[in-house]
Amino acid sequence: MFSTNSRRCEAPGERIVVVVADRRGLTDWAGAAIENLIARRAEVRVLYCGADRTPEIAESVRVDRLDAIRFPGHVLVESVEPQAPADAAERVRAALEVLAADRSFNAIHFGVRGGLGFRCIQAKRAGTAFGNVNLVANLDSCSQLLREQNRSWPSGVNDLIIDYMEKYSFENADCHDTNNDDIISYINTMQWRVNPDSTVDNNRSLSPNPLVTIGIAHYNLGQYLPAALASLECQTYPNREVIVIDDGSTEALSIAAFSDLEKRHPGFRFLRQANAGIGATRNRCLAEARGQFFIPMDAETSPGQRWWNGS
């Protein structure tokens, strides 16, 4: 599982709904996801959107059929055009709100293929629903990749709409889940926006530019710190975090320089502590770091422009 700010999207005992588009979705990702959730002692409920018979899942899992849920008349907001791609996502959104009224849940898992989570994510971003629910996108596949594998063109404008829904759902979900290296490589090629903090189980980054944290321990080096931070501003690597910790400086010049630099570099994090020594200060930098990689840097160092290029 990889998730925003590396936090878990569910915990033991939480209530989870898994939205399954069809039998293929159950085979491709949902079956394994459900097994993992059960192993984590989550209470799992499935919303099945296929037109065939209801699949047999674990005995502890309740399965609701999308076509069996009855909606209040005001719930659905259908598209102007008949059978528009977003209508399926709209029915999923409305169904989940009905299910939530019966028993609230903590997270919703859905596959990216088909964009069934599209309206749910829009509703959360608009502040109209799912405010306390984690929306988890499983990067099972995407329609554009499947077309390329089949050497086929879009059959019409609806295919392009679905492409947009899938991309939007992935980019704006709270958390993500995947174990498919091919689809990770593909979305990077297609330049889908990826949260830099997102990592998979083995701590590989989903982003081609994983977040790098640079930690600086500062103690009475105010005459050198401005040049060090200016050099970091000039770095060409696009995805970095800079943490600067003042370790209880006593010189007036260093104290004033630290405060001034905090205003001049609003994109960096400035922290202060009582004097603890260089080792303890670097350890705190590491503890505060959000990056997949960590680089300690001396306050009197002024690296060149390509000091860190991600290689």
User: 72, 100 in Cβ contact below 8 A?
Assistant: no
Query: Over the stretch 178-212, which tens digit does the pLDDT of each residue have?
Result: 767 778 778 877 878 765 544 444 445 556 667 78
Residues above pLDDT 90, as percent of the chain: 53
User: What mean pLDDT is reported for the chain?
Assistant: 85
Which pLDDT score is estimated for 65? 95
Instruction: List the structure tokens of 212.
Output: 């790098």
User: 237, 308 in Cβ contact below 8 A?
Assistant: yes
Residue 235 — pLDDT band, cuts 50, 70, 90? confident
Average pLDDT over residues 270-283: 96
The mean-pLDDT minimum among 57-66, 76-85, 132-141, 256-265 falls in 76-85
> In terms of Cα–Cα distance, which of 182, 200, 199 is closest to 190?
182
Q: Does the pLDDT of residue 11 top 50, yes or no?
A: yes
Which pLDDT score is estimated for 277? 95
Tokens 């596959």 locate to 111
Q: Does the pLDDT of residue 117 top 90, yes or no?
A: yes
Angle at 109 between CA 91 and CA 156, to 5 degrees: 50
> How many Cβ atoms sit within 10 Å of the Cβ of residue 122?
19
More confident residue, 82 or 197: 82
Which pLDDT score is estimated for 290? 81
Q: Does the pLDDT of residue 128 top 70, yes or no?
A: yes
More confident residue, 32 or 7: 32
* CA–CA dist 146, 138 (Å, integer): 16
Residue 77 — pLDDT band, cuts 50, 70, 90? low
Which pLDDT score is estimated for 181? 73
Crossing angle of helices 85-102 and 157-172, rounded to 10°: 40
Query: Over the stretch 215-229, which tens digit does the pLDDT of each residue have?
Result: 999 999 999 999 999
Which pLDDT score is estimated for 203? 46
Average pLDDT over residues 265-285: 95
* CA–CA dist 192, 171 (Å, integer): 7
The full set of domains in the chain, from first to last, is 2-189 (3.40.50.2000), 212-298 (3.90.550.10)
Tokens 């528009």 locate to 84
Separate counts of helices (H) and strands (E) for the chain? 10, 11
DSSP-assigned letters across all residues of 171-193: HH-SEEE---HHHHHHHHHTT--
User: 117, 88 in Cβ contact below 8 A?
Assistant: no
Q: Does the pLDDT of residue 306 top 80, yes or no?
A: no
User: 25, 112 in Cβ contact below 8 A?
Assistant: no
User: 25, 201 in Cβ contact below 8 A?
Assistant: no
